[in-house]
Amino acid sequence: MVVLNLAGDVMLGRGVNEALAEMPPEEVWGDVLPLLLEGGVRIVNLECAITDHRRPWTRTPKVFHFRADPRAVRVLTAARIDAVSLANNHTLDFEERGLLDTIAHLRSAGIACAGAGRDLAEASRPAVVEGGGERVALVAFTDNEPPFAAGPDRPGTNYLPVSLEGEVLERVEEAVARARAEGAGTVVFSNHWGPNMVERPPECFRRFARAVIDRGADVYYGHSAHVFQGVEVYRGRPILYDTGDFVDDYAVDPRLRNDRSFLFRVEVGEEGLRGLELFPVRLPYARVRRAAGEEAEAIMERMERLSAEMGTRFERAGDRLLLRGPG
């Protein structure tokens, strides 16, 4: 059995980067850190460039550019992050140089990455790590920011539109097959997809996610909306449509509450999902903390409601939500 600790968007740039000058890196994680250090494979979506390069992307219109100083990689090592997805709409915020610097800093810290690279071949390569005596592969895609897409001889992201077209699903199948060929017993399919600030995935996204499971992925790991969405179990495999935010400096929507989310702990066995634990968290400025009291109650109630719409019924287990797999 493999235990996966999955979190949504970790943005270490801008205000978070400034805050890091005044605090130790482990302070970012607060009382969530012991959960992360309990074991298992730890994966996040890294939504910024880690680089000293300061020239932002200007070739196409872009409102936000997120850059963290190289010291920010210590935040990831403090939580023993094993792998990150770089397939998103901020990886090239500071041009190709920023992307290549990010990859170099991650590799120097012993952190695997997937979803972006020096060319399309590297961007589409899975990141394979060890967990529970088994190899776990992260394959990462995004439908965001098409100008960032890698080419045969151009650095960029592993771009893939959300579609049921044969060419798209062939790329999904090839990615999963390659991960299996590299010895992965568990394949996590990461996708930074769709619009911001929506609570429910559109039906076309649900069909796509199920098609990904049909093509062999063990876990569908979505992010991009900045708010968490419901969980579906399809053919014994979990679909996390959106895991929300986890660390950032963003303004908070008073209704959608993008400052609330979960740490998603997934247990996967040969037969599929063994269990899913959701630990509610709150996101104060440049930090993440465990939620408690009425706030934890509100976070869990929203997830219960959104997931019930997809046929998923969680149990309450004290300060967390629990879903027992069919195995």
Over residues 61-103, the pLDDT tens digits come to 999 999 999 999 999 999 999 999 999 999 999 999 999 999 9
Comparing C-alpha atoms, which of 91, 143, 144, 89 is closest to residue 113?
91
Cβ neighbours of 133 (radius 10 Å):
8
Average pLDDT, the chain: 97
Dihedrals φ, ψ of 167, to 5°?
-65, -40
Alpha-helical (H) ranges within the chain are 14-19, 33-36, 73-78, 95-108, 120-123, 166-181, 203-214, 293-308
Question: What domains are defined for the chain?
Answer: 2-324 (3.60.21.10)
Tell me what pLDDT residue 131 has: 87
Is the per-residue pLDDT at 327 higher than 60?
no
Tell me what pLDDT residue 14 has: 97
Residue the block writes with tokens 């539109």: 161
Q: For residue 92, what are its two tokens? A: 């090239």
Q: Residue 325 — pLDDT band, cuts 50, 70, 90?
A: confident
Across residues 30-43, what is the average pLDDT?
97
Task: Indicate the pTM of the whole model.
Answer: 0.98
Output the CA–CA distances (angstroms, integers) from residue 11 to 64, 87, 170, in the order listed. 12, 13, 31
Q: Residue 326 — pLDDT band, cuts 50, 70, 90?
A: low
What is the percent of the chain with per-residue pLDDT over 90, rounded to a whole number?
A: 96
Q: For residue 276, what are its two tokens? A: 């899913």
